[in-house]
Structure formats: structure tokens, C-alpha cells
Structure 1
Amino acid sequence: MESFKKVTSIVTPLDKVNVDTDQIVPKQFLKLVQKSGFGKFLFFNWR
């Protein structure tokens, strides 16, 4: 894997004390075989 120098993105704060990994990517979406394409599932239950 090549290292990267710069990321351009939108940043938003989360007003939460603890965010567990099941909130970031819910378990029903972790059955995917590929390592990409998870963006549409991030914080799925919060949308």
C-alpha cells in the first residue's frame, strides 16, 4: 500500500461521547468481500 500525503474532504464533528464500530458500519454490511464501497453504509442507522 502506498502512503498518501494529503486528504481533501469534508469534516464534521460528532457530538457523541462514544461511537462504537457497529454505529460506523453496521454488521449487516460487513459481509461484503471487497475492501471498497463501504462509504454508502457509513453511519447508515443515523441517516
Structure 2
Amino acid sequence: MAYDKFNILTTSAVPLPIENVDTDQIIPARFLKATERKGFGDNLFRDWRYNNDHSEKKDFVLNNPIYSGRILVGGKNFGSGSSREHAVWA
């Protein structure tokens, strides 16, 4: 897939200072049925972002409009675990 070239990205960074975040936390396995790269963002950190009734957890950083940036700064070992490409797509 070809990507558009860019020279400058003006955005804020979103801090996620949690260590050892694995791919099951990034995108839970129950959302892996899709084979295209679209639609995964809604389930990014699903179990951390939403309550059982699908309402947002107010204390999770990605639910705070102040942190609507496009750069995620993770802790040590971010993305560890399987070679699940779906986590990157999300």
C-alpha cells in the first residue's frame, strides 16, 4: 500500500506511561476477525477505554479531548507479545 509523503506533522503527543503493554491490550483478540486495516481504531485499548456498558472510562487518557494527538508515547516494552499486525493497524 502506498502512503502519502509528509514532511511535517503538527500534533500533540499522547502519554501512555504504562510498561509492558502487549498486543492483546492494544487490540483484544475478539476484534481480530477483520482482514482489512479499517475500523480497528474504535477498539484500540478497548478494555481500558470502555466500561462493560460501552460507556467511556473518564480516567483513561485517550478519552480526554486534551490528548487527541496523533503520536502515542508508550512505556518500556510497548507492543510486546505476538506478531499481531492488527495492533499496528488500530
Q: How does 1:21-40 map to 2 (within 5 A)?
A: 21-40=23-42
The answer to whether residue 16 in structure 2 is matched with residue 11 in structure 1 is no
Distance (Å, rounded) in 2 between the aligned partners of 1:30 and 1:8: 31
Alignment RMSD (CA, Å): 1.9
Distance (Å, rounded) in 2 between the aligned partners of 1:21 and 1:12: 18
Provide runs of 4+ in structure 1 moved above 4 Å: 6-10
TM, length-normalised to structure 2: 0.44
Percent identity, aligned pairs only? 45
Deviations 1:1-42 (A, max 9, x none): 124314455531112111101101111001113221101000
Residue correspondences, number:
47
Q: Which has the higher contact order (CA 8 A, sep 6+)?
A: 2
TM, length-normalised to structure 1: 0.74
The gaps in structure 1 that reach 5 residues or longer are none
Taking structure 1 as reference, are residues 24 and 33 closer, same or farther at Cα in structure 2, changes over 3 Å only?
same
The gaps in structure 2 that reach 5 residues or longer are 50-90
